[in-house]
Amino acid sequence: MLVRAEGSYIKKVVVTKVRDIARPDPLTLAPGMSVRQAVAILMDRLVDGAPVLDDNREIIGYFSKRNIFQVISKGIDTSIPIEGLMDRDVSGWSPDNDLETVLGREMDGLLPEPSPRLVADESGLTGTISGADLIRALFNQCREISSDLDAIINSTHNLIVAVDEHGMIKWFNHSAEKLLGRSFAEVRGVHIHEVFPNSGLINVIKTGRVEPAQKIKLNGLDFISNRSPIKKDGRIIGAIAILQDISELESISRELKQVKELFEELDAIVESSFDGLYITDGNGITLRLNKAFERLTGIEGLNCVGRHVNDLVKNDRVVSESVSALVLERREPVTIIQETKIGKTTLSTGTPVFDKNGNIFRVVCNVRDITELNSLRQELELAKSLSLHYQNQLRTLRLKYIGSDKLVVKSERMRGLMDMVVRVAQVDSTVLVTGGSGTGKELIAETIHNNSVRKKGPFIRVNCGAIPENLLESELFGYVYGAFTGAKKEGKAGYFELANGGTLFLDEIGDLPLNLQVKLLRVLQHREITRVGGVKPMRVDVRIIACTNQNLKEMVRNKAFREDLYYRLNVIPVNLPPLAERREEIPYLVDHFLQLFKRTYKMEKRIVPEVLDVFMKYGWPGNVRELENLVERLVVTVQGDTITQGDLPGYIFEALPDGDVKVLVPRIIPLREAVESVERQLLEKAYAEYRTTREMARELKVDASTIVRKAAKYHIVGSNS
């Protein structure tokens, strides 16, 4: 900001660099020029002087009108070179000098010297700066600061009134204008008593004392007024009052009281819980815990608050494992069994609390002594026994899979899911198959149908998203003659009638329009349909299997899918896990698809183990379908008999976790060429990502000199060069 002291001398300015106001590309003279030539050039360019540069563009002097006056006064021949007359004691400034520094040395009295100064850096002359330039910069800064000060004061919600030493109004912000009903232009220079008789500012001017928190009434409202004298050079030159509406403070006070009551209520609820409660923030820092948690773990709360959960586990061994850390890692509720430091076994459930941006900002953990759950443990053991019994029975059913040549089931998770699928196939309950695209939902639907009592009946597939909405109703339910223009005379049976006695597979059920969802709900409830344009209902005996890769629960919340239909479809949910969650099946799937496409295309191919290593690390966003398509692509496009890592597409390696990316060699080349190619690529990437050779050297783990030498060798020049 501008600070005025010692009369009207300007001592400090907003920090500005010389380069911001310097004039670039200055006029220069050569030492061998004659005085006559130099004078002609200066007059032509309307300047008072110019720097003199030698053949190396080095500044060796300055020739100005003062030197010209010297020539005239002494009668010197104007044809002699200016080198003998120029001033050799040349002063100047660096482009990086602050304007404050320049002004401190250049100004004499109120104004700087009018003669220009040189601006130069290590590369040579870059510009000139004159007294007029300095004055112009000072004026612009003063105007900008004044404008900013006006904006700040007028943006303040509180009333601000300032007067001079005689009580005349010098400042009146927008809030004061609004409350007092008069503009600043009207009251400027008017005595404060005429506008604001009880302001108290005159007394402040007389006493010179600060009067904080003074209650006054203005236009029928109560305000708190803070009044202070305005001093300059130890003399009072005015006073200022800042007023705040007390009603705002009272509102804040009431809110604080409510918050305090809520906090006390929450504290009472937390402490009254018999279960241990442990709360952290989104970074795992302990925020609070209750007495029950202290009782279960044998630790005092004051020793935990403010510490990270991992610190409590590793150093203090409060519990054997931190459920809060698992919640932060998985971003979902987690339940584990813990051992506390005093020997208790507890069942701990951690639940994440998300903010509106989807970030975890709290983790709430409920800790219960597991001895209170004996009855639940007994029920769990019984359920496990029944589960083992069912598994033994289902092992005999695995041999009955029809279409099993299309399924590869090797993981325990998929085995359990297929056991349930075969068991569900024996009844007619509606099934909702969910899972990501490419996980094999249609194969599950086929397996249910082929292992059911309806296996001899039709299996009709309908993609609800592929049929236009205006045709979907007639395709599902059929139509009678005259139902619409172009309807066949004999009418047409819909998919429900065609699937009678069998299974109707409704793929992409989430794309079903809302008006048809109502009719589908009626079919599920009453097992009857009515053709479009018809009036007579028909009974149908159809099992419904629906499929979707959408989140129907979310669609229900967004009113995009009927809640009653969702629960009618979701009688038996079957969720197919993504391929990334059953990686142990990848080698078997690869072998299955490899054999399939070898037979299909009559080719002999083999895949090296290194390719399987990459497949096991890749995320497979397209699931089994992506793996199938990639294997087919490799079988068809690879020229040799062996499929190696070099044959894999680049996006596979780009998606691998850090540390798993390897240098690929697509063919045999000389070792020296291969090394140089890798060096060149690494250096190009380093020059693109980092600013200095030191940063590059640290990332590549070599000396900075090596970076410079290698970059010169391969002619690599980056933006940081």
Work out the pLDDT band at 659, boundaries 50, 70, 90. low
Identify the CATH number of the domain in which residue 629 sits.
Answer: 1.10.8.60
Query: How far is it, in rounded angstroms, from Cα 708 to Cα 721?
Result: 10
Q: Is residue 7 left, alpha or beta, with left meaning phi > 0 and alpha meaning psi from -120 to 50?
A: left
Same domain, 493 and 440: yes
Same domain, 10 and 87: yes
**Per-residue pLDDT for 38 more than 70?**
yes
Same domain, 443 and 563: yes
Helix (H) or strand (E) holding 266: helix 246-272
Tell me the one-letter amino acid at 19. R
User: What is the mean predicted confidence (pLDDT) over 563-572?
Assistant: 93
With respect to residue 258, please indicate whether it lies within any of the assigned structural domains. no
Query: How far is it, in rounded angstroms, from Cα 368 to Cα 489?
Result: 71
Same domain, 385 and 425: no
pTM for the model stands at 0.41
CB-based contact 409:455 (threshold 8 Å): no
Query: How far is it, in rounded angstroms, from Cα 296 to Cα 311?
Result: 18
CB-based contact 322:357 (threshold 8 Å): no
Work out the pLDDT band at 391, boundaries 50, 70, 90. low
- Residue 570: name the closest of 528, 518, 527, 510 by CA: 510
The range of the structural domain enclosing residue 35 comes to 3-139
Same domain, 508 and 539: yes
**pLDDT value at position 109?**
47
Work out the pLDDT band at 669, boundaries 50, 70, 90. confident
**pLDDT value at position 6?**
38
pLDDT, one tens digit per residue, over 462-512 is 999 888 888 888 889 888 876 666 666 667 888 999 999 999 999 999 999
Same domain, 344 and 461: no
**Per-residue pLDDT for 121 more than 80?**
no
**pLDDT value at position 372?**
59
With respect to residue 600, please indicate whether it lies within any of the assigned structural domains. yes
Residue partners of 137: CB distance under 8 A and separation at least 6: 16, 20, 21, 99
With respect to residue 270, please indicate whether it lies within any of the assigned structural domains. no
Work out the pLDDT band at 12, boundaries 50, 70, 90. very low
Tell me the one-letter amino acid at 308. H
CB-based contact 2:141 (threshold 8 Å): yes
How would you class 27 by CB atoms within 10 Å of its CB: exposed for 0-12, middle for 13-18, buried for 19 or more? middle
Same domain, 468 and 564: yes
**Per-residue pLDDT for 534 more than 60?**
yes
**Per-residue pLDDT for 719 more than 60?**
no
Same domain, 568 and 420: yes
With respect to residue 209, please indicate whether it lies within any of the assigned structural domains. yes
Tokens standing for 334?
């987690």
**pLDDT value at position 634?**
93
Q: Is residue 510 left, alpha or beta, with left meaning phi > 0 and alpha meaning psi from -120 to 50?
A: alpha
Same domain, 568 and 599: no
Residue partners of 483: CB distance under 8 A and separation at least 6: 474, 491, 531, 532, 533, 534
**pLDDT value at position 201?**
86
Identify the CATH number of the domain in which residue 326 sits.
Answer: 3.30.450.20
CB atoms under 10 Å from CB of 320, counted, come to 14
pLDDT, one tens digit per residue, over 153-203 is 888 888 889 999 998 988 888 888 888 888 888 888 889 888 888 888 889
Query: How far is it, in rounded angstroms, from Cα 587 to Cα 504?
Result: 33
Tokens standing for 569?
């479809």
**pLDDT value at position 141?**
76
Percent of the chain clearing pLDDT 90 (strictly above): 20
Percent of the chain clearing pLDDT 70 (strictly above): 87
With respect to residue 71, please indicate whether it lies within any of the assigned structural domains. yes
What's the number of domains the chain is made of? Answer: 6
Q: Which residue has the higher pLDDT, 117 or 719?
A: 117
Query: How far is it, in rounded angstroms, from Cα 193 to Cα 29?
Result: 67
Q: Which of 87, 111, 139 lies at the terminal end of a domain, its last residue?
A: 139
Average pLDDT over the chain, rounded to whole?
Answer: 82
- Looking up tokens 């006054």 gives 216
pLDDT, one tens digit per residue, over 503-517 is 999 999 999 999 899
With respect to residue 261, please indicate whether it lies within any of the assigned structural domains. no
- Residue 161: name the closest of 140, 144, 184, 181 by CA: 184
CB-based contact 451:402 (threshold 8 Å): yes
Same domain, 537 and 593: no
Which whole-number Å values give the CA distances from 693 to 122, 688, 701, 706, in the listed order?
22, 11, 11, 9
CB atoms under 10 Å from CB of 399, counted, come to 7
With respect to residue 662, please indicate whether it lies within any of the assigned structural domains. no
pLDDT, one tens digit per residue, over 273-313 is 878 888 999 888 988 888 888 888 888 877 788 888 888 88
Query: How far is it, in rounded angstroms, from Cα 354 to Cα 356?
Result: 7
Q: Which of 94-108, 266-280, 574-588 has the lowest mean pLDDT?
A: 94-108
Query: How far is it, in rounded angstroms, from Cα 673 to Cα 479?
Result: 72
Work out the pLDDT band at 626, boundaries 50, 70, 90. very high
Helix (H) or strand (E) holding 349: strand 345-354
Same domain, 509 and 632: no
With respect to residue 659, please indicate whether it lies within any of the assigned structural domains. no
Q: Which of 545, 577, 609 lies at the terminal end of a domain, its last residue?
A: 577
Same domain, 286 and 241: no
Q: Which of 544, 577, 610 lies at the terminal end of a domain, its last residue?
A: 577
- Looking up tokens 């099992």 gives 543
- Residue 32: name the closest of 52, 47, 58 by CA: 52
What are the backbone angles phi and psi of residue 229, rounded to the nearest 5°? -75, 150
**H-state helical runs in 579-663:** 586-601, 609-617, 623-637, 650-654
